[in-house]
Chains A and B, each alone.
Chain A
Amino acid sequence: MDYVQTLIMAFISVVIVNNLVLTKFLGICPYLGVSGRLDMAFGMGMAVTFVITLSGTLTWMIDYYVLGNQALAAYGLGVTRYVCFILVIAGAVQLVEMYMRKFFPPLYESFGIFLPLITTNCAILGLCLFLRIWEVNTLVTAVVMSFGAGIGFTLAICIMAGIRESLRTADVPKCLQGAPITLMTAGLLSLAFMAFSGMIK
């Protein structure tokens, strides 16, 4: 029971308290770029969730079992961590891209450049590195937290897209139209999420 509770706490913590987009400011590129429409934002969130879960799990396994292996400590394999992580992420993104091209062509078209750009989405590499900093030491926790990070990203981008859809009919002053109002919205949202910061230590 205690273990399940820890898992639930870890999940909530990564979705709300340590939301990668709104409290760590990672993955801002798709967050601002693809949040114009709710359905696209949700699709992007799902794609990122898939990639982040897959790559978070795989990189945790590589990090924990190979790079952090005591028997191999003499070789200083830690230096290859970034290269390995990016390799895994790029591979996962390629898989998603092929899958989407086959089964969701309209979504694939509308993402354009942002789909391959998931590779360089810093939220994903950030999460892979955070798993180490947060000292996650069981596979199940790693999977739950990776998945949670994806859900957190989806949550953030969908809230943003919902606000931006409503903003389209709002009477925004001319000097604030477009990027300025989007950035201000992002700032206010992030401020709102700061309120969760004391919830879980």
Chain B
Amino acid sequence: MTLANLISLWNHAWPAGMIILGLGMVFAIILLIASEKLKVKMDPKIELVHKALPNIDCGACGFAGCASYAKAVVQNPAELIGRCAPGGAATAAKIGEILNLQISAEGPPQRPIVHCRAHTSDKTYYAVYQGIETCTAANALANVQACKFGCLGYGDCVAACKFDALHIVYGLATVDYQKCTGCGACSRACPRNLITMVPFKHENMLTVACSSKENGKTVRSMCQVGCIACGICAKQSDIFTVTENLAKTDYQKYEPDDKTLSAYNKCPTCVIVYRGKNAPDPREPAKKKAAVAT
């Protein structure tokens, strides 16, 4: 392109540019005046609280994002102050400082526990599922996976997690407690309600990793590691109770001692496992070990 071309282009184009520039300036001035006239005074505390929050907009507090939570917490601190799960006690303390409030000691942090421990090799399948690869879709079809209660392993919870703290490991949703912030998105995403938020009083919690309410014989027939409701754990320690063919842990009462350890060791299907940051690998049932050996 020669210089002459450029000059002729300029000669033709400058009025268009001027019109846009002129319009832009007119609107800039109108909006400038309007923004001064229609200024809304914001509470400076809201801005400070917003800065103190993790700013990840996870929605664990029940508000649309950190901005709306900040606004709500300034207006109603007494009820809303501890709601930020990812920030935890530290954030609550910071907010308390900004709002000039005394915060009483926080409870233990809430973390999710997946109430199933069956990997693909432990489960029984009646058919091959070839539909949409989400748990919600797979859950709508009865009898593809034998167990109606166990983890489906298509990762609806993984998709819901914003912190990369959940992964499907050999067909089982597994929480990475190092990364987990306790926002509870996974527990809302699971169509089988396997994931519950549990107060982690200790670094590792003992849990019955099964949700099956089938009777013992049926469970045995379709899962290597399901709870058969034999009641041995309940005899060892009173933190376990068996209701509706399923042993449950009372997380509020849990304190690690000899009794809970012996329940852990005596569970015939090894369904009682530790979950947490440094949880030991779960025991494997004897039958399966033999099968591997031979």
Contact = CB atoms under 8 A, between A and B. Distances in A.
B23 A94 contact: no
A91 interface: yes
A166 B27 CA distance: 42
Contacts of B19: 66-67, 77, 80, 84
A102 B38 contact: yes
Contacts of A77: 15-16, 19
Contact of B34 (A66, A84, A95): A95
Contacts of B253: none
A77 B22 CA distance: 14
A196 interface: no
Q: Using C-beta atoms within 8 Å of the partner chain, give the interface range for chain B.
A: 10 to 19
A101 interface: yes
B266 to A, nearest CB: 44
Given A91-B30, A94-B31, A98-B34, A80 B12 contact: no
Nearest to A103: B38
Contacts of B35: 98
B10 to A, nearest CB: 12
A90 B35 CA distance: 15
B24 interface: yes
Given A94-B31, A101-B40, A102-B40, A79 B24 contact: no
Contacts of A83: 20
Given A80-B16, A80-B19, A101 B38 contact: yes
Nearest to A66: B19
Interface string B1-40: 0000000000011011001100110010011001100111
A99 interface: yes
B27 A88 contact: yes
A95 B27 CA distance: 10
Nearest to A94: B31
Contacts of B27: 87-88, 90-91
Contacts of A134: none
B8 to A, nearest CB: 12
Contacts of B16: 75-77, 79-80
Contacts of A94: 31, 34
A72 interface: yes
Contacts of A88: 23, 27
A28 B182 CA distance: 38
A142 B258 CA distance: 85
A43 B154 CA distance: 42
A105 B43 CA distance: 14
Contacts of B12: 75-76
Given A98-B35, A101-B38, A75 B23 contact: no
Contacts of A99: 34, 38
Nearest to B13: A75
B31 A95 contact: yes
17 contacts: A62-B23, A72-B15, A75-B16, A77-B15, A79-B16, A80-B16, A84-B19, A84-B23, A87-B24, A88-B23, A91-B31, A95-B34, A98-B31, A98-B34, A98-B38, A102-B39, A105-B40
Given A75-B16, A98-B35, 8 more contacts: A75-B13, A84-B20, A87-B24, A90-B27, A91-B27, A91-B31, A95-B31, A102-B38
Interface of A: 62, 66-67, 72, 75-77, 79-80, 83-84, 87-88, 90-91, 94-95, 98-99, 101-102, 105, 112
- 4 shortest interchain CB distances as A-B pairs: A91-B27, A98-B38, A102-B38, A75-B15
